[in-house]
Structure 1
Amino acid sequence: MSTPAARIADLLDVVPAASNPPVRPPDPVPEKPARAAGPVLAVTVMWGDLAEVPADLHVTGHYQSVVPAAAELALDEAISAGTRRLITEHTKLGWIDAQLGKITYFPGKGGTVRSAAVVGMGPLGTLTERRAGQMYASLLGEAVALGHVSTLATVLIGSGAGNLTVHQAARALARGFAGALTALGTSAAAPRLADAVVVEVDRLRAEQLHLALSEAAARLPQLRIASGLREGTGGLVLGPSAGVYALAALTGLAERGDGPALGGVLEGFDENVRAKIREQLARLADVRRTDLALTVGRPEEVPEGAVPVRMSVQSGVGGLRWAALTGRATVPERLVPVDTDLLRELVDRLTEPSVKDARELPDLLARFVVPPDFQRLLTDDATVLLELDRDTASVPWEFLAETEQAGDDRRDPLAIRTQLSRQLRTPYSRVMTESTTEGPLRALVIGDPGDPEKGHQLPGARREALAVHDRLKSLGVEVSLFLGAANSVRQAGFEPARRLDVLRVLLCGGNHIVHYCGHSDFDPTGAGRRSGWVFADGLLTAQELTLLERPPLIVVANACYTARLGGAGGPRTGTGPGSAAAPTAAADRTPWGNPQAALVPSLADEFLRIGVGHYVGAAWRIPDDQAVTFAEQFYGHLLRGGSDEAPPTVGEAVRAARKALYRPPAGGVPEDPDAAASGQRHSAWAAYQHYGDAADPFVRSGSTTARPGGAGGG
C-alpha cells in the first residue's frame, strides 16, 4: 500500500478471501484423530447466508414462543410465499413444540431451500452447553433416520441468543454429532447423510467458528472438519468485525515500521502519541484476530424491520431471572437478587403513582431490577418485547427509563420512544382458532355495565363508550354498543349491557374489536381464582367464551379492580372507569404488589388463552378525558396509520396513544392537594399495557380481511 493518506477503510483490503489469502501463516493443523469404527461425518464451515447454501435440509434453532429472527427469519422468508411467513405464523399460533431437541419440519417453495426444520431449544435463557449437546445429538440422529438427507446445512445454534460462546456451542455441536454417530454403531449400513455445512454470515465469526470447531473435533474420529474456511454467497463483514480486521492490518504495518500507510493514519497525532500507538499495535500483532472483539455502541442507522430486543423476566429463587435475545448483542442469563419487600413497595408506589413517584422512581426501577449489561439494550433502536410470568407481569415495566442519563438530563421513557409490549408466559396452550375474514370490520363496545344499587355505576365509562362508538363508526367500523345495566338510567337508542346479550354478540357476531369500559374483579369461587368483567348480573370471564370459534383480534379494556364482589362495605366509586379499591385482605396480594397491579395480567391471561391476539388494558384508574384520548388515538392510528407498503401495527398504535397522553416530568413541581388525581393524570400513559406481538399488522379501514393476532400467551 503506497498511498500516503491511507484511511482505516483502505486497510480492509487485507480481509482474507479466496483471491486474497491472509498474510499471517495458517494455524497449525491439529493432529489427526484415530480412525473411526463407525460412520464419519464431513463438516464444512462456510461464510455466507444459510438460505443460499445448497443442501437437502436446512436447520436453525427455535426458542419456545420466540418469533423468528436472524438466521431463522432468513430461513422463514426463503420457504414462505407472499407476506405470510410459515415459521412465524406457526410460532404465533403455538403450533411449534420447541422442547429441547424436538424438530418441526417445513416444506420449501422451491429453489435453494427444498426443506427446512427448526430444532427446539427450550425456553429462552435455559440452553446450557450440556443441553445444547443433547439438542445436536437429537438433530443429527433424526436427520440420519430420515434416509433421504445427504447434506445438512445449519448455523451454530445456541451462540447467537445469549447463552453460549462460540467455543461452547462448537464443543456442544462436536460432542452431540459425534455421540449420534457413535450410537449408530458399526453393524448398520452407512448412513446417506455424510456432509454437514455450518454457516455463519459474519466473516470474523466464521473464522472463530472454524477455529473452535477444529479444536473441538480434534480428538473425535467421527468428525472430519474441512481445512480452511469456505466461501458461499451472502456473507457480510459487520461493523465490529471490520474494526478487528482494521486493527489486524495496523498491527502488520506496525511490525514493518512507520511506512507511508501507517504514517497517513497517524498523521496529526503528537510524536509521543504516535510512538505509544505503534507500541500497542506491535503488542496486538501477537494476538490472533479470532481472539479479538470490538463493541459498537450504536449502529449509524437502524434498518427498517430491525430485530426486536426480547427480554425474558421470571421470578425465581433468590431474585429475578433475566435472559435476552437481540440481533445486536450476545448476553447470557442473569440472576438479579431482589428484596421482595422492596420490590413490592416499588410496585405499589408505581401503580397509580403520585406525581413525585412517577418522576423519581422509574430510574430506580431500571437500576434496581435490570442487570447492568442489559440496561444498554434499553434504547429506542428497536422494539422491546418483555416475556413475563404472572408475578413479574405485575411490575409496571412501562416506566422503564435509561440509566445512562444523570440528574435532570433525562430522555423520554422507553415506552414513549419505541414500541414496548408484553408477552405472557402461561401454562395454557394457545388454542387453534380461525380469524374473522368476511365482511366489514365489526366492533363490540360495552360501557358501564355494573349494578348502580351496589355503587358500581360509572358515568365516565358511559362517556368513554359513547366516544369510542362514535370514533369507530367515523372510521367505517360496524359497531354494537351495550350501555349501562338493565336497572340503571337507560340511554335512548342503545341496549342495556346484560351478560347474556353481550355473550350472544361475542359468540355470534364475528367481532374484530371488543372495547370494555367498567369494573373488573377476581372470582374467588371454584378451583383457582378467575378474573373477568363486572356486570350487574355477575362476572363475565373467558370461561364463558371457551366455545368462541372466531375470537376478536383485539380486546381493549379500561377496567380496574373493584375489590371483592359483594365484599364488606363495597367499593368506593370514582370518576373514571375504574374505582378506588376498598382495603384488601393479605390473601389478595400478589408476591410483587396489590391486586390492582395483578389485574391486567390476570385478565390478559384469561383472554389470550381463548385465542385473542392482543389485549390492551389499563392498570389503574384513568381520568375520563384521557381514556377517551387514548382510545381515539389508538383506533385512529390503527385504522388509518401506516402506508400501502407498511400497514400499521398494533405496537405502533399503542405507542402513538401513549405519546398523546405523555407529559414530560418537570422538576420541582409541587404536589396537588389531590395527589391521587394528579398522579392519575400525570402517569395515565404508563397505565396502558399491551400483551401481544408489537409488530403484528392490523386490518385497514375498509378492508375485508383480517390477519390472525399475535402470540400473546403460550
Structure 2
Amino acid sequence: MGTPAARIADLLEGATTASNPPARPPPPTPEESPRTDGPTVNIIVIWGDLAEVAADLHVTGHYQSVVPAAAELALDRAISVGPRQLITEHTKLGWVDAQLGEVTYFPCKGGAVRSAAVVGMGPMGTLTERRAVQMYASLLGEAVALGHVATMATVLIGAGTGNLSVNQATRALVRGFAGALAPLGPQTPPPRLTEVYVVEVDRLRAEQLHLALAKAAAKLPQLRIGPELREESGGRLFAPSAAVYALAALTRLAGPAGAGAGVAAPEGAPEGAPEGAPDGGPDPPPAEEEALRTVLAGFDPNIRGKIREQLALLAEVQRTDLSLTVGRSVEGPEGSVPVRMSVQSGVGGLRWAALTGRATVPERLVPVEMGLLRELVDRLTEPSVEDARELPDLLSRFVVPPDFQRLLTDDATVLLELDRDTASVPWEFLAEIQQAGGERRDPLAIRTQLSRQLRTPYSRVMSEGLSDGPLRALVIGDPGDPEKGFQLPGARAEALAVATRLKDLGVKVTLFVGAANSVRQPGVDPARRLDVLRVLLCGGNHIVHYCGHSDFDFSGTGRRSGWVFADGLLTAQELALLERPPLIVVANACYTARLGGSTGPGPGTGAGAGTGTGPGTGTGAGSQAGPPGVADQTPWGNPQAALVPSLADEFLRMGVGHYIGAAWRIPDEQGVTFAQQFYTHLFTGGSSEAASTVGSAVRTARRKLYEQRAGGQQDADAASNGQRWSAWAAYQHYGDAADPFVRPDASDRPGGS
C-alpha cells in the first residue's frame, strides 16, 4: 500500500490520505512573513495543567460576556480565595470588556500563579485566523512592555473552545508573536521576556500542538520552538485521545496479517482457508490474532476486511509510548461545560453563535420573515394544547441554524444569551428536530438546565454574598386594588403556601398579603408598597417571591415595568439604593395593561398569577390590548411576551443574581406546585459534597409541571387546559444555571420535609 504515513496528531486534524480525502478546502496561503531580525523568544510546549506551571504571568483568552470555562476556569480558581471566583464575577458584572487584544489583569493570592490576565477575543463566533494574529501580537507586545515578565504561561487561545483548528491557531500565534517582536529591531535592547510556555492538558493535543508550532515557525528565527514536549503535573488523557492511542496500539495486533489485508480474501472467505490466516495473509502470533478476532467479532462480516485494511494504515502512525490509566468520565450533564448560544436580532433575521466545550460555531444569519415569527411567538405565548404540542418543532426548524440543532441535546446545560427583542421568544419550547415517524422526545428545558442571560450595555452592581446567618425571604401576594378588579385569590393562596414551605425549610419569612382595602388575612400584614420597600431596603432578604399583576408604565420618561400594588407600581427604580439585592427573585406575575392609560375590565375579571382555575377569576386582563406603544417596543407585537424580559432586565440591572418569572397566566395549583418544587430542590436537592444549583431547581420544578400537564379539573375550559398543558414552559430563568445555592447550616435546616 502506497498510502502516506499519518501521524497521531493528524488523526484529529483530518490528515489527507488515500483513504481520507480532504473534507474541506485547504486554508488560504499565509501572507508575507514578518521581518526576521530582532530579538527572539523561546516557545516551550508543556503537557500539564496551566494553573500548576510556574511563570511570571499566566494568560488565557476571554470571549465577551462568556463566563470562564476550561483553562480560564482553572486559572480563575487558582487566583480566587473563597467561593467567589474573581474572573467569573467580573464577567457577570460586565467589568471585562474583552475587546480583541485587550488585556485585563487580576491580582493573585500567590503560588504557581503569581500574576494573571485574560486577553480579549471579542464576541464569540467572530475569531478568525486574521483576528487571532492581532490578538496574539497585542498579547506579546503587552507582556514585553511590562518589563518584569521573564516567563509567560498561556494556552493555545482560540483552539480549545474557539473557531480555529490547532493548525490555524498555531499559525496565528507564530505570526502574531513574530509581528510583535519585529518592530523592536536589532538595535533595541532585548526584552526580558524570553520564554513562553504553551500549556495543553491533553497529551495528544499537546503533541499535535508541538508539531504544528514547529512547522509554523520553521522559517521565523524570532521564535525558537523547544525540541521536545515537556511534561509537568496535571496532564490528562481525554477520551478522544485515548481512543487514538488505543487504535495505534491495536495496529500492532494487525501485524503482517493487516499488511496483506489489501490483497487477501475478505473476512468470510471459503472454509478451506488456513485457520491462522482468515484473510489470506501470513499467520500472526496466535494471542494477537485472538485479540484481533475479539475486536472484529461485533462487526458485519462484509466490512471486517476493510477494518483490517484501515488498521494496517494506522500501523505507520508515529507513536508515543505512554504508561497511563484511562478511566471513563463520570461527569454528567450538570458537570459538563455549558453550551452557550447567542441569539441577537439583526438586519435580515436572527444572528446566532454558539460556544461549547469543544468548539465555537461562527456566526450564522437565519433569514426570518418577521410576520411569521410574530405569529409564532403570539401562538406560543399562553398557547392552546394543540399549539403547545405541534409548534415547538416548527420553532426549532424555523429559527435555529441546522448546524446548531445538533447542540440541542441533554449532554450539557444550555445558556441562551439574548437581547431585549429575542428574549420575547419562548425558547423554553425548543425541541430536537423530529424526523418523520420518529419518537418525540421531551423538550430541551425538561431534559437539561436551560437559562437565559440578557445582553445589556450596563454593568450590574456588586452584591454581597450570603451571610452566615439564617436565610431571609420576602413573600408578597395579591397586592392589587380589589376596587379596580385586581383581586387574585389564587395569588393569595400561593403566597401563603410559599411562606409555609420556606418556613419549613428553615427560612426566616416576612409575609405581606392583600391590599389594605381588601379582605385581610388573619395575622398577616397587608401588602403596602411603602412597607414592602422598607423590608426590601432594610431587611437583607436573599429571596423575594411575588404573586400578582405586573405592567408597563409610560407615565414617566421611558418605559418602566414593575409589580402592581394598590397604591402604584413598584419597579427596580425604587430599589436603586438597595445595597444588598436579593439573590433570587421569583415572580409569578402576569401582564395587566391598565396602568398606562388603557381601559381594563371591571372588578372580578382580573388576570395574573393563579388565575387559571381559582375562584373569582374570569377572562383575564392578560388578553386585553396594551396601552399605546407597548406593542411597538418589541418586533413580536405581544406585550405579554415582552413583560418578563423587561422585568428581568430591570432587576438584574439592580444586582439580582437570578430572576425567574412566568411569561403567562398559570393555574393556581400549578403556581403553588412550581414554587414548592423549586424551593424544596434548592434547599435539599444537592448532594452531600455540592450545593444545589439554581438551574437544577428550575428544571426540577418544570419537570413536575410537565408530568402533571394532562391532569386537573375535568370541567376546565379549553383556555385553562392550554394554561395547564404549557405551564412548565411559562417559567423563564434569567441567570447562570450552574450557580450553586448556599443553603443554611445543617443546624438551621429541618430534619426532613
Q: 1:678 aligns with which of 696, 712, 721?
A: 721
> Partners in 1 of 2:122 and 2:335 — Cα distance?
26
Q: TM-score, normalised by structure 2?
A: 0.82
SS at match of 1:332: strand
- Residue in 1 that maps onto 2:432: 402
User: Cα 1:453–1:673, aligned 2, differ >3 Å: closer, same or farther?
Assistant: closer
Per the TM alignment, residue 206 of structure 1 is displaced from its structure 2 partner at its CA by 2.4
Contact preservation (8 Å) 2:339, 2:357? yes
Higher mean alpha-carbon deviation, 229-238 vs 524-533, is at 229-238
> Partners in 2 of 1:605 and 1:677 — Cα distance?
29
Q: Map Cα deviations across residues 32-61 of structure 1 (whole Å, 9 max, x no partner).
A: x99942111111223332223232211111
Per the TM alignment, residue 452 of structure 1 is displaced from its structure 2 partner at its CA by 2.1
Q: Map Cα deviations across residues 318-371 of structure 1 (whole Å, 9 max, x no partner).
A: 222222222245533322222222222211111111111111112222222222
> Partners in 2 of 1:271 and 1:622 — Cα distance?
58
- Residue in 1 that maps onto 2:405: 375
Higher mean alpha-carbon deviation, 224-233 vs 339-348, is at 224-233
Q: What amino acid does structure 2 have at the position aligned with 1:607?
A: F
Structure 2 unmatched ranges of 5 or more: 1-6, 10-32, 262-280, 321-327, 612-619, 749-753
Matches within 5 A, 1:650-669: 650-663=694-707
Q: Map Cα deviations across residues 534-557 of structure 1 (whole Å, 9 max, x no partner).
A: 112221111111110011111110
> Partners in 1 of 2:213 and 2:350 — Cα distance?
34
Per the TM alignment, residue 605 of structure 1 is displaced from its structure 2 partner at its CA by 0.3
Contact preservation (8 Å) 1:161, 1:324? no
Q: Is 1:311 equivalent to 2:337 in the alignment? A: no
Structure 1 unmatched ranges of 5 or more: 1-13, 17-32, 291-297, 706-714
User: Cα 1:623–1:34, aligned 2, differ >3 Å: closer, same or farther?
Assistant: closer
Contact preservation (8 Å) 2:555, 2:596? no
Contact preservation (8 Å) 2:466, 2:742? no
> Partners in 1 of 2:362 and 2:55 — Cα distance?
31
- Residue in 2 that maps onto 1:117: 117
Higher mean alpha-carbon deviation, 363-372 vs 323-332, is at 323-332
User: Cα 1:608–1:35, aligned 2, differ >3 Å: closer, same or farther?
Assistant: closer
> Partners in 1 of 2:329 and 2:361 — Cα distance?
18
Q: Map Cα deviations across residues 652-705 of structure 1 (whole Å, 9 max, x no partner).
A: 211121122113878xx9x99832211101111111111111121223245799
Per the TM alignment, residue 614 of structure 1 is displaced from its structure 2 partner at its CA by 0.7
> Partners in 2 of 1:218 and 1:528 — Cα distance?
60
User: Cα 1:270–1:317, aligned 2, differ >3 Å: closer, same or farther?
Assistant: closer
> Partners in 1 of 2:300 and 2:522 — Cα distance?
84
Matches within 5 A, 1:305-454: 305-403=335-433, 407=437, 409-435=439-465, 437=467, 439-454=469-484
Q: What amino acid does structure 2 have at the position aligned with 1:582?
A: Q
Q: Map Cα deviations across residues 53-72 of structure 1 (whole Å, 9 max, x no partner).
A: 23221111112232221111
Aligned-pair identity (%)? 76
- Residue in 2 that maps onto 1:11: none
Higher mean alpha-carbon deviation, 164-173 vs 233-242, is at 233-242
- Residue in 2 that maps onto 1:581: 623
Contact preservation (8 Å) 1:35, 1:221? no
- Residue in 1 that maps onto 2:489: 459
Higher mean alpha-carbon deviation, 621-630 vs 142-151, is at 142-151
> Partners in 2 of 1:585 and 1:496 — Cα distance?
29
Per the TM alignment, residue 192 of structure 1 is displaced from its structure 2 partner at its CA by 0.7
Per the TM alignment, residue 190 of structure 1 is displaced from its structure 2 partner at its CA by 0.9
User: Cα 1:531–1:486, aligned 2, differ >3 Å: closer, same or farther?
Assistant: same
> Partners in 1 of 2:480 and 2:607 — Cα distance?
13
Q: What amino acid does structure 2 have at the position aligned with 1:460?
A: G
- Residue in 2 that maps onto 1:699: 742
Q: Is 1:627 equivalent to 2:654 in the alignment? A: no
Contact preservation (8 Å) 2:333, 2:410? no
> Partners in 2 of 1:430 and 1:240 — Cα distance?
40
Per the TM alignment, residue 390 of structure 1 is displaced from its structure 2 partner at its CA by 1.1
Matches within 5 A, 1:480-559: 480-559=510-589
Higher-Rg structure is 2
Per the TM alignment, residue 621 of structure 1 is displaced from its structure 2 partner at its CA by 0.2
- Residue in 2 that maps onto 1:188: 188
SS at match of 1:60: strand
SS at match of 2:361: coil
SS at match of 1:443: strand
> Partners in 2 of 1:131 and 1:602 — Cα distance?
35
> Partners in 2 of 1:57 and 1:632 — Cα distance?
48
Q: TM-score, normalised by structure 1?
A: 0.86
Q: What amino acid does structure 2 have at the position aligned with 1:425?
A: R
Taking CA–CA contacts closer than 8 Å with sequence separation of 6 or more, which of the two structures ends up with the larger relative contact order? 1
User: Cα 1:106–1:428, aligned 2, differ >3 Å: closer, same or farther?
Assistant: closer
SS at match of 2:586: strand
User: Cα 1:128–1:528, aligned 2, differ >3 Å: closer, same or farther?
Assistant: farther
> Partners in 1 of 2:410 and 2:675 — Cα distance?
24
Q: Map Cα deviations across residues 403-430 of structure 1 (whole Å, 9 max, x no partner).
A: 2565462222221222111111111211
Per the TM alignment, residue 520 of structure 1 is displaced from its structure 2 partner at its CA by 0.8
